[in-house]
């Protein structure tokens, strides 16, 4: 089911949001929240200082803080996912109010992709009713504020090409996550990683 969204009210003292960093098998990640909803996520960067700089740029004014229980629980699920225990994040409370209606439609379509499966940008464009908008889908996914929670890494370009990935580490991070998820090619039973040339094709 689609992720819960909210017209979130800011908690006193955290009007711009708050964040915390946590360990996973992939590296240090981050979650950003405001009030009772998650507004952002960060995948591993070079180090904690780089992560904090990235978060400051993406979420100006957000402060580092101890997470409330719902954020701590979400972080534990992210860590479990990267440890190989697949998680469904579609029930998490996400605030995507800053995204356009088209972007929210793309994110809802991405959320519907099961763990271990992939789709193409064209697939998502057809899903949202705009079959000629594959490039716009890619732009929307590049703006995804909550990577992993909205699984933009599961969308590939057509003809076996990788597509991009805007998180730190780029396509290499994308493939690390897909490998953890034992991903398959779009519409096929074969493992993504049985197709070795795919891993080295440029986007």
**pLDDT score for 1:** 38
As its CATH architecture, domain 4-94 has 2-Layer Sandwich (3.30)
Mean pLDDT of 97-103: 95
Task: Give the whole-number percent of the chain exceeding pLDDT 70.
Answer: 79
Catalytic option among 152, 156, 178, 192: 152
197 pLDDT above the threshold of 50: no
**pLDDT score for 16:** 79
29 pLDDT above the threshold of 90: yes
201 pLDDT above the threshold of 70: no
Question: Sheet of 37-42: strands edge to edge?
Answer: 4-5, 93-94, 37-42, 29-34, 18-22, 63-64
Reply yes or no on whether 152 is catalytic: yes
**pLDDT score for 108:** 96
Domain with CATH 3.30.160.70 in the chain: 4-94
**pLDDT score for 12:** 43
Which of the four pLDDT bands, split at 50, 70 and 90, describes residue 58?
very high
Domain with CATH 1.10.10.10 in the chain: 101-187
Question: In whole numbers, what is the pLDDT of the chain averaged over residues?
Answer: 85
Residues 136-174 pLDDT 10s: 999 999 999 999 999 999 998 876 666 667 666 677 888
**pLDDT score for 190:** 56
| Class of the CATH-defined domain 101-187 | mainly alpha
Residues 6 or more apart from 80 whose CB is under 8 A from it? 87
**pLDDT score for 191:** 61
Which of the four pLDDT bands, split at 50, 70 and 90, describes residue 127?
very high
Residue environment code for 53-84, b if the CB has 16+ CB neighbours within 10 A, otherwise e: ebbeebbeebeeeebeeebeebbebbbebbee
Mean pLDDT of 98-104: 96
Contact 36, 17 (CB under 8 A): no
pTM of the model: 0.83
**pLDDT score for 121:** 94
């Amino acid at each position: 089911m689609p992720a819960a969204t909210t017209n979130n009210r800011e908690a006193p003292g955290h009007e711009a949001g708050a964040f915390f960093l946590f360990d996973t098998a992939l590296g240090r990640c981050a979650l950003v929240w405001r009030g009772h909803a998650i507004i952002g996520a960060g995948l591993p960067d070079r180090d904690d200082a780089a992560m904090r700089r990235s978060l400051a740029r993406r979420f100006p004014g957000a402060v580092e803080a101890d997470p409330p229980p719902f954020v701590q629980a979400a972080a534990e699920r992210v860590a479990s996912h990267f440890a190989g225990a697949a998680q469904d994040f579609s029930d998490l409370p996400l605030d995507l109010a800053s995204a356009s209606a088209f972007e929210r439609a793309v994110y809802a379509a991405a959320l519907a992709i099961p763990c271990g499966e992939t789709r193409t940008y064209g697939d998502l464009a057809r899903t949202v009713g705009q079959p000629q908008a594959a490039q716009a889908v890619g732009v929307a996914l590049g703006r995804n504020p909550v990577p992993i929670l909205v699984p933009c890494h599961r969308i590939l370009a057509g003809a076996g090409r990788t597509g991009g990935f805007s998180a730190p580490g780029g396509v290499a991070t994308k493939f690390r996550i897909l490998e953890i998820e034992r991903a398959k090619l779009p519409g096929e039973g074969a493992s993504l990683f049985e197709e070795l040339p795919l891993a080295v094709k440029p986007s």
